[in-house]
Amino acid sequence: MIAIIDYGMGNLHSVSKAVERLGYEAVVAADPQTIMEADGAILPGVGAYGDAMDNLRETGLNEVAKSYAASGKPILGICLGMQLLFSGSAEYGQNEGLNLLPGEVIRFSGKFKIPHMGWNKLSFHEQNSPLFKGLTEGHVYFVHSFHAKPEVASDLLATTDYYGPVTAIVGRNNVYGMQFHPEKSGALGMALLGNFLELTGSLKQQVQVATS
């Protein structure tokens, strides 16, 4: 079972439906026990960084997310959820993040359109990452005004180009993040999400039905 962490800010329905389309059981959960018992967890997010962290702290789900990551089971942050994995953000003042990955989230700066919105090609930096198994570089869908700057080079798994390199996928051990929306990114996005779900070891629903 895959837990979609519900802290009041996220495209929960579309993420859970994407997980189900890939054949896995998904549950939208705010209950710590349900989340901790899941085979994998997804932290989605839409909105402002500070508001998201406030919600996580008020519900205690910030500590649940940290405990889940410490358990060694796979956790994936999507869009704002990926940014929350980092040390902090300068969005509307300085905000402390979950600090699962060292680095800061900063606003785009330049004479170009902000937010970065649309289809951009990924460039894989770590070809051996299990997220990229069987995949080739292609386009995925981004919508964001802030982007992450990892402190550790090996945490950067893929970038895209938007007037310079932009962090697209990060990962360290069992902690992963995707700046784009895999559930809205066509075949490549779904394949990347599917490779993450495979890491959880969760049984696909059709396998459960076949053996029951």
> Domain segments of the chain: what residues?
2-211
User: What's the confidence (pLDDT) of residue 122?
Assistant: 98
Burial level of 94, CB count in 10 A (0-12/13-18/19+)?
exposed
Classify domain 2-211 at the CATH topology level: Rossmann fold (3.40.50)
47-72 pLDDT, tens digit each: 999 999 999 999 999 999 999 999 99
User: What's the confidence (pLDDT) of residue 211?
Assistant: 35
Asked if 121 contacts 139 with a C-beta cutoff of 8 angstroms, the reply is yes
Which residues have a catalytic role annotated?
A: 79, 181, 183
- Binned at pLDDT 50, 70 and 90, residue 203 comes out as confident
Alpha carbons 196 and 170: distance in angstroms, whole number: 12
Question: What mean pLDDT is predicted for residues 184-189?
Answer: 96
Alpha carbons 96 and 74: distance in angstroms, whole number: 22
71-85 pLDDT, tens digit each: 999 999 999 999 999
User: What's the confidence (pLDDT) of residue 205?
Assistant: 72
Q: Residue 145 to residues 90, 162, 167: CA-CA distances in angstroms?
A: 12, 11, 12
- Binned at pLDDT 50, 70 and 90, residue 127 comes out as confident
Question: What mean pLDDT is predicted for residues 132-160?
Answer: 97
Residue 2, number of CB atoms within 10 A of its CB = 24
- Binned at pLDDT 50, 70 and 90, residue 209 comes out as very low
Alpha carbons 152 and 143: distance in angstroms, whole number: 24
pLDDT of 97 above 80: yes
pLDDT of 112 above 80: yes
Alpha carbons 146 and 80: distance in angstroms, whole number: 9
